[in-house]
A and B are shown apart, each in its own frame.
Chain A
Amino acid sequence: MGVNESLQRGRAAVRGKPFLFLAGVAGLVLLADLLARLAGVEVPITAERSFGGSLSALRFGGLVWNGIVVGLIFGLAGIGLSMTYSILNFANFSHGDLVTTGAFTGWGAALLIAGWGGSSAGHLLSVRAGSGAGPNAIGASVVQSPLAILVGVIVAAVATVLVTVAADRIVYKPMRDRGGIPLLIASIGVALALRYSIQFVYGARNRGVTATEGVGVPFYGVSIDLHEITLVIVAVGLMLGTHFLLQRTKLGKAMRAMADNKDLALVTGIPTERVVTATWVLGGALAGVSGYLYVLERGTIEFNLGWFLLLFIFAAVILGGIGSIYGAIAGGLVIGLVHEVSLIWISSDFNAAAAFVIMILVLLYRPEGLFGGVTTA
């Protein structure tokens, strides 16, 4: 009987494993290399390459911290993408532009309050679209005008929710049962319309937004960026809030049920349109705030910002397993850390590519996500 066939089957059975094996080996090598670098051990291999080297704990700590900061942005934005992906069953390519929407509307409000009286309202609300008072003159920072920053968070959330719900009513609702691909294509249309509406109103210029005075605080020999601290606090706070919303409230439980199994939710009589709207509201708010916080951290704003983040957010969601909010958060942190810590080994030309490669590998070999298997919502 078929020796060939059993061989084939054997090969098919192990086909998934070489990848895991290779990934494991590569991970171990990198870890050993990292430890060697931190210990300052260097073993030359060829003239140009060597194993280990030197890496100060400070620089490593800095990279890890940066990774966590951007990872929280990816994760926060990813929650909404993950939920709409699983509940509405399509990959929303306009999610990045929702992030941009939050960034511009939120910062318009924050600048208006921080710079009130010092500059024209138009200049402030349009987030410094033209020439006028500079960021430091306006003074939008958590040190100089914490209230403005806080109001900005709220405005970012509210404005993005309005845009999101409007897009759902106008575009997605009439196509509810049309399957994932038509919806995906429509979302590309929404992405284009939204992105260039933002460009039309706010202009195409990449410009500084936040004031920097007093934001860096010395702390036991390292400089702590208070904006990054703010970002971490707000992001973690919102993640915890989302957790409680989904675990404790009836609506949250309904959303989790739908994310897990839409048919089941339909049968058990959860009012699904309401759940859909709630998903958009939650996802939109978190996306908007994440865009706002991202600008708080990097200090500059442009209309393409969210679109450039989109693939990273997808990467986070896919890594964490589509439909899982905890997965999205964890995936965001992993992608953020990969994006930053990989700089130890590769030039900054390639760190974004590295994050995308990881996303692709996970999609190919573990489409249920790195943390898949455990059903959460």
Chain B
Amino acid sequence: MSAATDAGGDPAADGGDPAEGEEPATVTDAVVGALQESDLRIVGATMLAMYLLFLVLTVASEGIGPRTVNALVSTWVRLTFLFAAYSTLALALNLHWGYTGLFNIGVAGFMAMGVYGMALLSTSPDAVSGMGLGLPLPIGVVGGMTLAAVVGLLAALPALRLRADYLAIVTLGLSEIIRLTLNSATLSSWTVSTFGFGTGGGSGLDLPDTPTDALFAAGGPLDMTFPLVQTSVVRRAAWVVVMAVFVLLVYWLLRRVGNSPFGRVLKAIREDELVAQSLGKDTRWFKIKVFMLGCALMGLGGILWQGSQGFVSPNSFRPIVTFYVFVAVIVGGSGSNTGSIVGSILFVGLLFEGPRTIGSILGNALELGGSPGTFPAAVAPLGSLDPMPLLAYAVGNISAFRFILLGVVLVLLMQHRPEGVLGHRTETAAAVDLHRSGSGGETDE
């Protein structure tokens, strides 16, 4: 029993280990080496705090009983899934905005390009909704990321010379154009008849299974029942491990980019593009390259997240998703890779999942009865000094509160702590230690 709890307790470490055994070892070593110890500790502590918070919340809502373990593991897996999804996207956005100052608020659109690109290549041709070419998944993933990068290039070529606020409007417009286009049934049926693949329009697109699902298939190594935890939860956990590996890879990549002369030029572009140019840097190419790289990573983030759920529709790529990612970056402090991950964890735990869980706990605990259907019905009893209907209504509409909270947090952060919760951080942009080498060297002038 306790062994099973442990396995669930840290899904990232145990759930899918058999599948990922060979690959991550060296990469993880590299990442750990690159990590400043304190950064690792900050990320770890934040994650731990969130796991503990949700341990308390889950116990509060489920009580202690035979189903608690499954509920808890399931919650932790869902949290970790969202941590990983938002971390990938926040890291990519941080490359654009935090590092280079490119104010891209079309994240959702580039995610969509990644997911749809992957799906059109790799979804089976006889899917129920939509139609793909049925190519192997790695081709689909690379294709999706490439598609996102190419769309990024098309946007970047003319748009990168624009002021930041204009770039924001252009990228938001582009992401809406992408969503509306994917929503088009006309387009889908036309591409199906012409090329043999289609997006499925508004009714969405079936996606290939995640590779980890094969482990659980009949006859697979994990085709078994697990004690205390449902198979579906373990299955999800296995995928979350894969996502975590990708987060580490992206983190490693972006740290390398940041700690290099290339990253130094990006920072200079953010601070003052004319200075960078006056020092002989052709800033156009730097911006185009970094925009494409970031867009490809946003595509990857989309694939890992929306692309792993068996089905996708254009509704998953509304601009609100972009704003979620933005909040994650701002919470952590733009310009810091570690901050992006910490911000993602805090965003998911405190702003995204937290309010919902607390709402349902309150709903159960207070035995509020049926929530009134409308606000007037909820406030009318206040006249007779009965606040319960209003409370019930508020709890019943907790999702609205979540967005209001998000808005308020965004405003408060911008007003009082624009540098994010971690405060002002300097991640030096150089590939070597910049302290004076040796014992000072010759000190002539």
Question: Which A residues form the contact surface with B (CB < 8 A)?
Answer: 90-91, 120-123, 125-126, 129-131, 171, 174-175, 178, 180-186, 188-197, 199-203, 311, 314-315, 318, 347, 349-350, 352-353, 356-357, 359-360, 363-365, 367
Contact = CB atoms under 8 A, between A and B. Distances in A.
Contacts of A196: 400-404, 407
A174 B416 CA distance: 10
Dominant secondary structure of chain A at its interface with chain B: helix
Nearest to B394: A200
Contacts of B48: none
Given A90-B165, A192-B407, A202 B414 contact: no
A186 B415 CA distance: 8
A183 B176 CA distance: 22
Greatest chain A CB density within 10 A among B169, B180, B181 is at B169
25 contacts: A91-B168, A120-B376, A122-B379, A123-B376, A130-B374, A131-B373, A174-B415, A181-B103, A185-B330, A185-B410, A186-B414, A189-B411, A190-B411, A192-B404, A193-B403, A199-B400, A311-B176, A314-B173, A315-B173, A350-B181, A352-B180, A356-B174, A356-B176, A357-B177, A360-B174
B414 A203 contact: no
A311 B319 CA distance: 11
Given A181-B165, A349-B185, A349-B187, A125 B326 contact: no
Contacts of A364: 158-159, 162, 170
Given A91-B168, A350-B184, 14 more contacts: A122-B376, A130-B377, A174-B415, A184-B168, A188-B323, A189-B407, A189-B408, A199-B397, A311-B176, A347-B184, A353-B176, A353-B180, A360-B173, A364-B159
Given A185-B326, A350-B180, A180 B185 contact: no
A349 B180 contact: yes
- Which 5 A-B pairs give the minimum distances between C-beta atoms? A122-B376, A189-B410, A193-B407, A192-B407, A349-B184
Nearest to B410: A189
Contacts of B410: 185-186, 188-189, 192
Contacts of B380: 122
Nearest to A196: B403
Contacts of A188: 323, 326, 407, 410
Contact of A122 (B158, B163, B169, B377): B377
A185 B404 contact: no
A13 to B, nearest CB: 16
A125 B180 CA distance: 34
Contact of B373 (A130, A202, A315, A347): A130
B395 to A, nearest CB: 12
Nearest to B97: A181
A129 B372 CA distance: 11
Given A91-B165, A349-B186, A182 B418 contact: yes
A123 B181 CA distance: 38
Contact of A193 (B168, B397, B411): B411
B185 A129 contact: no
A175 B323 contact: no
A360 B407 contact: no
B226 interface: no
Given A185-B414, A186-B411, A356 B177 contact: yes
Contacts of B379: 122
A312 B171 CA distance: 14
Nearest to B181: A353
A363 B161 CA distance: 11
